[in-house]
Amino acid sequence: MADFASTVSNIYSQALGVIEAVEPRIAAATRAELTDQRGSLKLIASENYASLPVLMTMGTWLSDKYAEGTVGHRFYAGCQNVDTVESVAAEHARELFGAEYAYVQPHSGIDANLVAYWSILSHRIESPTLERLGAKTVNDLSEEDWDALRAEFNSQRVMGMSLDAGGHLTHGFRHNISGKMFKQHSYGTNPETGLIDYTKLLADAREFKPLILVAGYSAYPRRVNFAKMREIADAVGATLFVDMAHFAGLVAGKVFTGEENPVPYADVVATTTHKSLRGPRGGMVLATAEYGPSVDRGCPMVLGGPLSHVMAAKAVALAEARQPSFATYAQAVADNAKTLAEGLLKRGVNLVTGGTDNHLVLMDVSSFGLTGRQAESALLDAGVVTNRNSVPNDANGAWYTSGVRIGTPALTSRGFGAAEFDKVAELITDVLKATTPSITAAGTPGKAKYAIADGVAERTKAAAAELLDANPLYPGLEL
C-alpha cells in the first residue's frame, strides 16, 4: 500500500504539473481541495472519500468514447471496450445487490430517478397504450395519439416523502420536474415520534391512488420497512420505487437486510454511487426482470451518452464493495452514527426522532436559539463541515431551517471509530453552546448572523486537527 501511495503521488504530482502549465488556476484549486478535504471534519451525510483506484479510473481516455445505446447495441461504432466496462459494472451491481437487472449509465442520482420514472411510465402507461392503439413503437403514433399519451403521462400520481420529513426534491417537490410531471401527494412522519406512520400512509395511499409509491430519503435518520412499503403499493396497485441514494452503502454492506433491504421488495431501485456506497459521482438503477427492458431505454430517453470512464470507476467501486472489508466499513458507519447521536443527546442536543439507526443524525438546533443556517456557519468557522436541513414542520422554512444534518460515511472512511465520534459530538456541542444569534435593528434575534464566544472556534479547530492527523486521508499521498 505504501508503494502504491508513492506511485500515485508521482502520477498526480506530474499530472498536476502538466495541468498547471495549461491552466494554473485549475491545478491550484485541485491541490487546495485536497488540503481542505484533509483539514476539516467532513460530516456532510451525502459525501464520502472514494478510494484512489476509483479516482484514478475516472482519469482516462474512456472518457473520449461515445457509446449511446446499450451493451452490444450501440449507436456508434467501436464500442467493444465500453461494452466490457458497462457489462462488468452491471454484473458487479447485480451480484452485490442481488438484483435481476442493473443499469449503470445514469450520470447522477437525479438522472437515475428520471430514468426510473420514465421506465415506470413507459412500462405501465406507454406499452398498454401502444397496444390499445395498435402501434408497435411511439414512432408509429399520430400527433393526436401523442397528445393523448402525453395527457396520460401527466395525469399520473406519485406519492413520496415530503421534503421537510426527509424526502428528496425528486420525490415530487414542486420545484423539481417530478412535481411538474406528476400529480403528487407527500407523506410525512408522525408528529410525536418523528417516524413514518405506515398505517396512515396506507390510508392516504388508498385515497390518493398513486401509480408510483416512492420510498427513500435524504434526511430521515431511521430505517424503512420495505416489506410494509410493498404491501401498501400492492394494496393500491402502485409500482414501488425506492430511492436508496443515501443508504446504498448500508444495503451493499449488509447492514440493512431482510425487510430493510429494498431490493427484494421494490420494482425499481435507484441510487447514487458516490454517497455511502463510496464510488465515483454517478447514479445507477436496479430493477426486476419485468422493468429491466424499459430501464434500458434510459439513454436516449432521458440520458445523454454514457460516461464510460465513470462507469469504469463504478465497476471498481462495486468490486471494492463486494469485499468483506466493505461490510465492516458499513457496519462501522452505522455504529458510529449511534455513538455520535448518543454523544450529542447526553450533552443536551435535541435530535429528530431522538436518535438514529442509519448513517445520519438530524440535530434540531432551535433549543440553542439558533437557526440551521447560523449553526451550519458557526460549525464551519470551527472546521466542522455540515449542512443545514429542515426539520419536520420547520418554523424557519427551507432556507434558514432549524436543523443541521450530519453523517458518518466520510469520517468512517478515514478510520474514525467510537472514541473519535464521541469527541466530534463534544466539539459540535461546544460550538453550538458558544454561538449566539446577532440581534437585528428591530431588537429580535436574526436568522443569519451570529457570534461565537472568543477562542471556541480556534480551540475546536485545533482539537479537530488532532483527530484528523491521527486518521489521515489518502495516507502517503504527497503532492
Ligand X SMILES: *Cc1c(COP(=O)(O)O)cnc(C)c1O
Residues tagged active-site: 66, 68, 243, 272, 275, 281
List the grid coordinates of 263.
Answer: 431490493
Residues 368-407 that bind ligand X (CB under 6 A): none
Is residue 126 classed exposed, middle or buried when 0-12, 13-18 and 19+ CB atoms within 10 A define those classes? buried
Question: Interacting stretch for ligand X, rule CB under 6 A, among 109-117, 141-149, 200-208, 459-467?
Answer: 109-117
Specify the residue, 220 or 400, whose C-beta has the smaller distance to ligand X.
220
Specify the residue, 46 or 366, whose C-beta has the smaller distance to ligand X.
46
DSSP-assigned letters across all residues of 4-41: HHHHHHHHHHHHHHHHHHH-HHHHHHHHHHHHHHHHSE
Residues 1-40 that bind ligand X (CB under 6 A): none
In the stretch 183-212, what mask flags binding to ligand X with x, by CB under 6 A? ------------------------------
Question: Interacting stretch for ligand X, rule CB under 6 A, among 104-112, 302-310, 324-332, 372-380?
Answer: 104-112
CB 439 within 8 A of CB 445: yes
Q: Is 82 in the site for ligand X (CB under 6 A)?
A: no
Residue 420 beta carbon to ligand X: minimum distance, rounded to whole angstroms: 25
In the stretch 263-302, what mask flags binding to ligand X with x, by CB under 6 A? ---------x----------x-------------------
What pairs with residue 364 in β-bridges?
350, 403
Specify the residue, 245 or 428, whose C-beta has the smaller distance to ligand X.
245
CB 122 within 8 A of CB 137: no
How many residues are recorded in the chain? Answer: 479
Residue 474 beta carbon to ligand X: minimum distance, rounded to whole angstroms: 23
Q: Is 216 in the site for ligand X (CB under 6 A)?
A: yes
DSSP-assigned letters across all residues of 407-474: ESHHHHHTT--HHHHHHHHHHHHHHHHHEEEEEPTTSSEEEEEEEE-TTHHHHHHHHHHHHHHHS-SS
CB 317 within 8 A of CB 54: yes
Taking the mean position of all CA atoms in its chain, how far away is CA 338?
Answer: 20
Residue 114 beta carbon to ligand X: minimum distance, rounded to whole angstroms: 10
Question: Interacting stretch for ligand X, rule CB under 6 A, among 144-152, 197-205, 239-247, 291-299?
Answer: 239-247
Specify the residue, 43 or 464, whose C-beta has the smaller distance to ligand X.
43
DSSP-assigned letters across all residues of 198-257: HHHHHHHHHHH--SEEEEE-SS--S---HHHHHHHHHHHTPEEEEE-TTTHHHHHTTSS-
Question: Interacting stretch for ligand X, rule CB under 6 A, among 241-249, 312-320, 326-334, 446-454?
Answer: 241-249
Residues 417-476 that bind ligand X (CB under 6 A): none
Q: Is 246 in the site for ligand X (CB under 6 A)?
A: yes
Closest CA to 303 of 175, 111, 101: 111
Task: Please give the residue ranges that form the binding site for ligand X (CB under 6 A).
Answer: 46, 108-110, 113, 168, 170, 216, 218, 243, 245-246, 272, 283
